Amino acid sequence: MQQLHIVDKFDPDKITVNMNVKAEAARMDKVSLNNNPCDWMDPAKVGLRVCSLNCRSLRKHVEDVKTDAMLLQGDVIMLQETWLEEGEGEQGRYQLEGYRSYFTSVGPGKGVAVYVKEGLTILSVSKFTDANIQLTKVVMKELEIINIYRSQDEPLPSAAHHLQNHIHPVKDTLIVGDDNVCASKTNQLSNYLEGEGFHQLVTLPTHIKGGNYLTQIF
C-alpha cells in the first residue's frame, strides 16, 4: 500500500473484477493449506509428533533445520547423517531454541542427532556407536523411540542384532532413521522387525536424490 499512489481523482466504478478470477480466488482460499492444515500442522490435534530427516550434514544445513516450519512442529526431531565430529554437536550453533539436544557423532557420512522439546518428560537417553551404525534411544513413560543410521557396509543381520539389544521386550517402541535399504522390498532387517511384531509405517518413497529408498519407521 505504501507504493500505491492515486493520481488526480479516484473513481471506484473504474475498478472491476473478472468473475472467473473471483471464483478461482474463492476456490483456492477454500482448499488452501492455511485453512485446511494437515494433522501434523494442526495445533488442535493432540498427540506426540515425531519427525525424521536425513540432513546430509548438519554442519551445512543447521540453518535449514532451524527455519523448517514442518520440522519444528515435531516434539521429537530425529536427524541422520549429521557428519559431526565427537563433541561438535554441543556447540551453540547446533542447539535448537526450545529443545534439548543429544548427539551421537562419529564424523563424515555418519552420526545421528535427537532434539526433544522442552517440557516433554523423558526418563533416559542412551547411545550406541559402532563403525557403521549409530543409534540413540529416548525412553519415555509409555514409549521408546530409537533413531538409527546404518551405513551400507554394516551387514543387515548385525544391524538387527544391535537393535535387538536396545528394543524393550514389551514396551511400545518407534524405530525411525535411515538404514540404507529399500523398505518396499523384503530384507533381513525388516524380516527381523516384523518377526518381533513391528509394523512398517512409511509407505511412500522419501528419498529425494534418486532411488526408491524409504526412511524406515517401525
The reply to whether 204 falls in a domain is no
57 is a domain residue: yes
CATH number at residue 54: 3.60.10.10
Please, what's the b/e burial string for 112-125 (b: 16 or more CB within 10 A of its CB; e: otherwise)? bbbbbbeeeebeee
Q: What pLDDT, on a 0 to 100 scale, did the predictor assign at position 9? A: 82
User: What does the angle CA 182 – CA 63 – CA 183 come to, to the nearest 5 degrees?
Assistant: 5
What's the angle, vertex CA 137, arms to CA 135 and CA 142, rounded to 5?
155
Residue 10 lies in a domain: no
Q: What is the span of the domain harbouring residue 184?
A: 50-195
Q: What torsion, rounded to 10 degrees, do the Cα atoms 117, 214, 199, 70 define? A: 30
pLDDT at residue number 8: 83
Mean pLDDT by runs of 10 across the 218 residues of the chain is: 83 89 95 90 92 94 96 96 96 96 96 97 96 97 96 95 94 93 83 92 67 48
Q: What pTM, to 2 d.p., does this model score?
A: 0.82
Overall domain count for the chain: 1
Residue 215 maps to a domain:
no
Q: Is 9 contained in some domain?
A: no
CB 205 within 8 A of CB 212: yes
Domain for residue 153, yes or no?
Answer: yes
